[in-house]
Amino acid sequence: MSKTSTESVNTTATAPLSAVKDTATIFNPAAPTIVQAQSQADVSQTDAKQPYHHKANHNQNRSVAQSSDVTTANATATMPVSAAPKIGFVSLGCPKALVDSERIITELSRDGYQVASDYDGADLVVVNTCGFIESAVQESLDAIGEAISKNGKVIVTGCLGKEADKIREMHPAVLAVTGAHAYDEVITAVAQHVPKPNRSQDANYDPKIDLINEAGIKLTPSHYAYLKISEGCNHRCTFCIIPSLRGDLVSRPIDNVMNEALALKKAGVKELLIISQDTSAYGLDLKYKTSFWNGMPLKSKFYDLCQALNDLGIWVRLHYVYPYPHVDKVVELMAEKKLLPYLDIPFQHASHRILKAMKRPAHSENTLARIKAWRDICPDIVIRSTFVVGFPGETEEDFQCLLDWLVEARLDRVGAFTYSEVEGAVANDLPDHVPEDVKQSRYERLMALQQDISAQKLQEKVGKTLTVLVDEIDSDENIAICRSYADAPEIDGHVYVDDINAQVKVGQFLTVTIDDASEYDLFASYQG
């Protein structure tokens, strides 16, 4: 790849996520439409010149069935033109919210509704909101207003739905407001304002719509999918209101999780991204109840789930892993090549004083020791984390502690966001809030430091051979845009493979040789 083309591609790689669009896929033999989506985990990494921010700032995950930016793609089979009512859908927030949107769209499709490709073609619009921090609240309110102005019939759901009075005060025209994971309430509200189609009287009804399988409709590309294993959280971090929005931990029984995982594999998924608010707490609320799957007893327990997912023979990537002691055993599975050696652990800070104020585990020296132990067990492990800068009371000394910790930890992937108040968070009432300009300066300093660390670590991969998964094909540049085991979709880097042949397809695994590296991306050649 020439230097010019390298720079061109890398600019694309570090563009804001709002510019990224992935074709959504419906996993059923006769899908009515396919919408596009944008999905991301909490915080991405990037260079200091074009910084990413937290998902709620301006890179909202927006899966839009009706935006003018969104196109409609062909499904596995084309449905006949139907008089069935059409529902538009806007999904904001993290992958966990995206999964909620997928479930609602699946249920609406099973009821005979179709998904609209624009506002004008929708009989009603559902907006799935985010309320994690104040900027997310504002973006959700703006999205509701846009849907009302362009369509007029709007139902609101998601995390911000808990603030129904605020929503109705700003947008009194909304038809209904429901909270997070209120699937049945959304379906009921839709049916109340746009009655379900009468299939017996619809001459254009195609019975194949009843064949939507357990995997349901997915808003991600066909080769990867998010698998949510639990809802809610038992922690009470002072900067977070997730428990008040989504409740305490509620885990899915392990047979239920595995049935969905298997259905996704059968639908062609090559990579499962395991998500929840607290992935490693999975099963605690169920008291690790035993269920039967595939004729074998399985405990609803994080380690047992990881073992079972490994047996599917596809990539399994773990996100939102709280560093409980039993995570060490899961790292052993990674060393045995039974899971992708990738851990997404939100450490949040390194200063003992700030961690204590956050109500997070407050022993950064122990965390460093555990990271070293994980690397001893599994030398190839990639660790990504997110950090809050400018938390109330954070001094320059506290921030320097975080920088020193990062130098020693040498994490592979790091995202950060500046502290932002959110209504209802305990941290709002803490003293000594940090000025905005100081927060931004610290954010930029942290990301500049991590950029250097990332560049050094990626340079060490030059000359090595890696297995990568193809996400996109740039036919103009003759480049495959791929990811290795070290790269989660949207939030991490890419592997750009030069001079590919016509046989290379999206969703295919390639074995490539790394030729060069930048701060966040790798550049490779393929001899297939």
327 plus 448 within the same structural domain: no
Range of the domain at 441: 365-372+383-459
Domain assignment of residue 332, yes or no: yes
Closest to 137 (Cα-Cα) out of 267, 251, 245:
245
Name the more confident of 241 and 271.
Answer: 271
For the chain, give the longest Cα–Cα distance: 71
What is the average pLDDT across 395-409? 98
497 plus 417 within the same structural domain: no
Domain assignment of residue 437, yes or no: yes
Domain assignment of residue 514, yes or no: yes
- pLDDT at residue 213, rounded to an integer: 55
Residue 128 pairs with which residues in a beta bridge?
91, 157
292 plus 423 within the same structural domain: no
Please state, rounded to an integer, the average pLDDT across all residues of the chain.
82
Q: Which residues contact 146 (CB under 8 A, 6 or more apart)?
A: none
Give the pLDDT band (50/70/90) at residue 48. Answer: very low
Domain assignment of residue 13, yes or no: no
> For a pLDDT cut of 70, what percent of the chain falls above it?
81
Question: Is a pLDDT exceeding 90 seen at residue 34?
Answer: no
The first and second tokens of residue 158, run together, are 């998601």
Rounded Cα distance, 117 and 82, in Å: 14
483 plus 452 within the same structural domain: no
Question: Is a pLDDT exceeding 60 seen at residue 22?
Answer: no
Question: Is a pLDDT exceeding 80 seen at residue 208?
Answer: no
| CATH number for 287 | 3.30.750.210
141 plus 107 within the same structural domain: yes
> Residue 367 carries which side chain, given as an amino acid letter?
T
Domain boundary pick from 146, 181, 211: 211
| CATH number for 394 | 3.30.750.200
Domain assignment of residue 335, yes or no: yes
Question: Is a pLDDT exceeding 60 seen at residue 295?
Answer: yes
Question: Is a pLDDT exceeding 90 seen at residue 411?
Answer: yes
Domain boundary pick from 437, 459, 481: 459
pLDDT in tens, 166-181: 999 999 999 999 988 7
Closest to 92 (Cα-Cα) out of 51, 152, 142:
142
Closest to 276 (Cα-Cα) out of 234, 312, 244:
234
> Residue 505 carries which side chain, given as an amino acid letter?
K
40 plus 174 within the same structural domain: yes
Please give the DSSP secondary-structure letter assigned to residue 424.
T
Rounded Cα distance, 470 and 319, in Å: 21
- pLDDT at residue 307, rounded to an integer: 94
Domain assignment of residue 355, yes or no: no
pLDDT in tens, 227-254: 999 999 999 999 988 888 888 999 999 9
| CATH number for 64 | 3.40.50.12160
Rounded Cα distance, 201 and 83, in Å: 10
Domain boundary pick from 403, 425, 459: 459
Domain assignment of residue 107, yes or no: yes
Cβ atoms 181, 231 nearer than 8 A: yes
304 plus 425 within the same structural domain: no
| CATH number for 473 | 2.40.50.140
Helix (H) and strand (E) counts for the chain? 13, 25
Give the pLDDT band (50/70/90) at residue 345. Answer: very high
- pLDDT at residue 204, rounded to an integer: 54
Domain assignment of residue 358, yes or no: no
- pLDDT at residue 211, rounded to an integer: 44
Give the CA angle between residues 463, 335, 231 to the nearest 5°: 110
The first and second tokens of residue 51, run together, are 């910084």
pLDDT in tens, 100-142: 888 899 889 888 898 888 898 899 999 999 887 777 888 999 9
Give the CA angle between residues 343, 63, 69 to the nearest 5°: 130
Question: What string of DSSP letters covers 402-422?
Answer: HHHHHHHH--SEEEEEE----
Number of domains in the chain: 4
Whole-model pTM: value is 0.77
- pLDDT at residue 206, rounded to an integer: 52
441 plus 312 within the same structural domain: no
450 plus 489 within the same structural domain: no
Question: Is a pLDDT exceeding 80 seen at residue 24?
Answer: no
Cβ atoms 126, 188 nearer than 8 A: no
Rounded Cα distance, 240 and 58, in Å: 19
Most confident of 131-135, 315-319, 422-426: 315-319
106 plus 191 within the same structural domain: yes
305 plus 453 within the same structural domain: no
66 plus 109 within the same structural domain: yes
Neighbours of 51 (CB within 10 A): 19
